[in-house]
Amino acid sequence: MVRQPIAPRWRIILGIVSVIILLLGYTYLSHKQHQTNPTDTTIPSWSQLADGVAKMVEVNARSGERWLVVDSIASAERLFLGLAWGVIGGFLLGLFMGCFQWIAALFVPSMSLLAKVPPTAALAVFFVLVGTETPMFVAMIAFGILPVLAMSVYLSVLEFPDELLHKAYTLGASHFEVVWSTIFRQVLPKVFDAVRLQIGPALVYLIAAEMVVGDVGFGYRIRLQSRLLNMDVVYPYLVILAAFGFLMDYGLVRLQRLSCPWYEQARRR
Amino acid sequence: MVRASEETMMDKDIILECSELAQWFGDNKVLFDINLQIERGQIVAVVGPSGCGKSTLLRAIVGTHPARGGDIYVIDGEGTKRVVETPGRDRGIVYQRYSLFPFMTARENVAIGPVLDKTSIPGRIFGYFKFREFKKTVLEEADALLTRMGLGHALHQYPAQMSGGMRQRVAIAQALIMRPSILLLDEPFGALDEATREDLQRLLLGLYQENEEARAQDVPAPHTIFIVTHELNEALYVGDRVLGLSQYWDWKGEGLDACPGATILYDKAAPIFDPDGQRDFESLRAQRAEIRALVFEPETPTPRHIHVTYSS
């Protein structure tokens, strides 16, 4: 029967098994590769990976810096600034589009169009408009996530029931209070959901841009080391990126649960 | 139809007046020549065939969809007569669904009215401590009101955790805490089961009892209620005055080519029930049949004015 429930412990066991299979599969691939070519670095063995980690954590002989530290600082700055501008801008625009029809009429066509343009394809546009330093990355990430987020928030605001809107006015609310104290508070959990969905794309834009431009950052390091076939550095970087994305998502879920304790119950209904 | 003058309005303590009210949307004519006076302390129930415009009339009174023809006047909290153009705190509303804000608990939902009305957002930020005191007082008032309505155990529950009947109770409390001039209810119990509906009807009767007590002490009656319902029994049980709104009237006899909209065909008193007493619907049988024949029958168009005979 479809949707037949399974015991919770089976869920845990199967989850662990799948991760183990992943790791064993990788070990096997690496082993096969090293049998063909003992000095291979494209599918590193576990000891080579350990060396790779050491390489990125220790002070590099030539540049005098720790790769992990400088790359993290550079990428994190770009990502967080880009996310900040994109999220705040997208949220405010979406909120006002949903609340005021003339703003919606002004922006829906342009937002819908812009949402379809892949920011990575428009890199040259950003070079020209904003230069090639940190502002370029920030602009690219922000413009990458802003239209989609604005449309998402706009649609969530449209779902706010008319009845509650009218009721707020009969309770003596001003227009500002209607937008801030009722619509915003009801739409907030959906904003979190929309932001969670944009973390992935934001990371993609960041890494893609860093691969093309720049001399520091995760994207730059991964591309350079990939070209040198130093996959023992690349794999740990990928793992860090994955862990970071996971933590961001988890952090946002916790924040959502903290600020909107009512949402779980409402969703289940 | 003669419109009441300013003097008689004050004499009879009229809270709401509709004068030659009409509503249409493009070619769709919904309401025609509605003339109505609601006095303080009345519970007016409006019945009519489906789609006749009961909710349209209510929305015009709330002010969310103002009438295109005619005027609506309401006496606000300070006793000034105002024309209705937008929603305001003098007309409270309870809808059938989406009655509560889902992101607040029951007590917060009831307290939000005074908070929205009496404070502004800058005031809440810059006068933070005063606001905190005010909020505490309002929440206590909300707790008291909810406990009186039998919801003392649900003060901290969110709407998603409450049953439909509880939600409507909280919604009524939310509207009542504002002490509006008139409380409007749009088929408030339509989505509830029979037993819950009975409980809530008794709650409204309880409000009428409070009116009677106030009148006995020579104090203005606190609750004026306007309820739209499609349930004839409910209208006669809860209301002390029943209006029949219908498009099945004798417009041909008045020389018109097409129906210009629904109008009030029936306006008579309904018996007053004791909330703790028997729900004896047998006694209402004659009036039910009368209303059905006059208001709900498309085959026998009723002439206007003949059955609009309510006097307080």
pLDDT, tens only, B149-208: 999 999 999 999 999 999 999 999 999 999 999 999 999 999 999 999 999 999 999 999
Candidates B97, B120, B178; nearest CB to A171: B178
Cβ contact (<8 Å) for B101 and A171? no
Q: Is B62 part of the contact surface with chain A (CB cutoff 8 Å)?
A: yes
Residue B7: is its pLDDT beyond 80? Answer: no
Cα pseudo-dihedral B64, B65, B70, B76, rounded to 10: -10
Residue B77: is its pLDDT beyond 80? Answer: no
For chain B, the domains span 1-90+183-312, 103-179
Candidates A167, A177, A262; nearest CB to B103: A262
- Summarize pLDDT for A207-216 with one digit per residue, the tens: 999 998 888 9
Residues in chain B within 8 Å Cβ distance of A185:
101, 103
Helix, strand, or coil here: A5?
A: coil
Cβ atoms of residues B188 and B95 within 8 Å: yes
Q: What is the mean pLDDT of chain B?
A: 91
- Summarize pLDDT for A180-221 with one digit per residue, the tens: 999 999 999 999 999 999 999 999 999 999 998 888 999 999
Cβ contact (<8 Å) for B88 and A176? no
What gap in Å lies between CA B136 and CA A158, rounded to an integer?
33
Q: Provide the residue count of chain A.
A: 269
Residues in chain A within 8 Å Cβ distance of B95:
163, 166-167
Interface pTM, i.e. ipTM: 0.90
Q: Which residue of A has its CA nearest to B172?
A: A167
Residues in chain B within 8 Å Cβ distance of A174:
116, 120
What gap in Å lies between CA B104 and CA A216, rounded to an integer?
47
Q: Which residue of A has its CA nearest to B121?
A: A177
Cβ atoms of residues A187 and B104 within 8 Å: no
Residues in chain B within 8 Å Cβ distance of A177:
116, 120-121
- Summarize pLDDT for B216-267 with one digit per residue, the tens: 999 999 999 999 999 999 999 999 999 999 999 888 888 888 999 999 999 9
Q: Where are the beta strands (DSSP E) in chain B?
A: 14-25, 28-39, 43-47, 69-75, 81-83, 91-94, 182-186, 225-228, 241-246, 263-269, 307-308
Q: Which residue of A has its CA nearest to B96?
A: A163
Residues in chain A within 8 Å Cβ distance of B97:
161, 163
* Residue bearing tokens 């302390």: B41
Pull the structure tokens for residue A173.
């609310």
DSSP annotation of A230: -
Candidates B86, B160, B178; nearest CB to A266: B160
As assigned by CATH, the class of the B1-90+183-312 domain is alpha beta
Any residues with CB less than 8 A from the CB of B157 and at least 6 apart, and which? B105, B106, B166
Q: Is B89 part of the contact surface with chain A (CB cutoff 8 Å)?
A: yes
Taking the model in full, what pTM does it have?
Answer: 0.88
Helix, strand, or coil here: B262?
A: strand
